[in-house]
Amino acid sequence: MNKKWLIASVIAAVVLAIFGIVSIQLFFRSFSNEKTIKMRVRKSWNLEKLAAEMEKQAGLKYKDRFLRWLKWRGYSQVRPCIIDIPAGANVKTVTDLLIENRKQTVNVVILGSMDAESLSRVLATKIEVDADSFLFMLKTGTQLKSYGFNDTTWPALFIPNTYNMYVSTELPELLKRMEKEYEKFWNPKRIQRSVIQNLTCKEVITLASIVTKESNKTAEYENIAGVYMNRLRKGMLLQADPTVVFARGRAGRVLEADLKINSPYNTYIHTGLPPGPLCIPNKESVEAVLNYKTHDFLYFCAKADGSGYHSFAKTYEEHKVNAAAFHKWMNDRGIK
């Protein structure tokens, strides 16, 4: 009887020892990161890749036991998410984070004035969209055709706003969502206003992108839009500096030589609107084009005071005076 009791005691001690070792690994420090690590878990990973990345990024110590624990908890397929791994976390805590965030959502913020590069970076950090693949898609325009857009008109599809999306959202789902938001934005009232202005919805967006780039003062948008509408209706060249900057491909002061750049976007040599938007315009500029201010101004120029506001003129003679003052202000400060 004593012998049986002794054997049972030994077995119990071994079980408790094993349980203790496993508990230490599961419930005590299993990661060697010294500060919180923000980790992006990708949809394309399998469990082994997940463990390898946790070892690399956060110093996971017991990969095999971590994998067994995941499977025991029913986590058999990697779900994309973004988690914060606390310093010195344990396996149980990290597993709980993975399970809790299997259907995680994030806010994707699309801002006015975004170009292809900035939009791709935002999407790649929030959802399952690869930045390079996204840029290639915009450049070729192939996947955009079924939505009625191409490689030049694509900015019109992305209406600035904050969108709550699943982290697992991929490119096809993103485009469908943007199409839905586009149709919601272009309600009957806005469409009617575009018809009154004799512009298509895409043309409104194109002109709005110029307005967005012309000024960061929303109070001026309706006046600026009015200048361009006056020019369009008179058959005048728009002569919009932002289109020259876009054609040139780099920011900076517009020089005389730049006005001769041979590009369909250069509104100093081509009449009418450019082939597509220069960027994703902000909503205020779109509303300004749809509801532009009626006036007789045909010119505007930045004021020579650094305020960011503009002086508007009805005649070229008035405009030359305003432009000369602004150029002097620029030259005096060595702005190039």
Q: Could you state, in order of their start, the residue ranges of all structural domains in the chain? A: 20-100, 105-185, 197-295
Check residue 16 and give its pLDDT.
Answer: 45
Fold of 20-100: Dna Ligase; domain 1 (3.30.1490)
pLDDT in tens, 324-336: 998 888 887 777 6
Check residue 3 and give its pLDDT.
Answer: 61
Average pLDDT, the chain: 90
Is 219 a residue whose pLDDT tops 90?
yes
Q: What is the pTM of this model?
A: 0.85
Given a contact cutoff of 8 angstroms between Cβ atoms, the answer to whether 35 and 87 are in contact is: yes
320: number of Cβ within 10 Å: 13
| 20-100 and 105-185 share one fold | yes
- Is the CATH number 3.30.460 carried by domain 105-185? no
* Paired tokens of 34: 């010294």
Check residue 45 and give its pLDDT.
Answer: 95
Is 11 a residue whose pLDDT tops 80?
no
**Residues paired with 1 in a beta bridge:** none
Given a contact cutoff of 8 angstroms between Cβ atoms, the answer to whether 263 and 299 are in contact is: no
Check residue 17 and give its pLDDT.
Answer: 46
What does the DSSP assignment read for 225-278? HHHHHHHHHHT-----HHHHHHHHTS-SPPPGGGGG---TT-TTTS-S--SS-S
Check residue 28 and give its pLDDT.
Answer: 55
pLDDT in tens, 156-188: 999 999 999 999 999 999 999 999 999 999 999
Check residue 246 and give its pLDDT.
Answer: 95
Percent of the chain scoring above 90 in pLDDT: 76
Q: Who's near 96: CB < 8 A, 6+ residues apart?
A: none
d(CA 201, CA 304): 35
pLDDT in tens, 107-141: 999 999 999 999 999 999 999 999 999 999 999 99
pLDDT in tens, 16-73: 444 445 554 555 568 888 899 999 999 999 999 999 999 999 999 888 889 998 999 9
Element (DSSP H or E) covering residue 229 = helix 221-234
Average the pLDDT over 253-267 and give the result: 91
Is 1 a residue whose pLDDT tops 60?
no
Q: Lowest mean pLDDT: which of 60-69, 94-103, 279-288?
A: 60-69
Check residue 262 and give its pLDDT.
Answer: 93
pLDDT confidence of 315, banded at 50, 70, 90?
very high
pLDDT higher at 22 or 222: 222
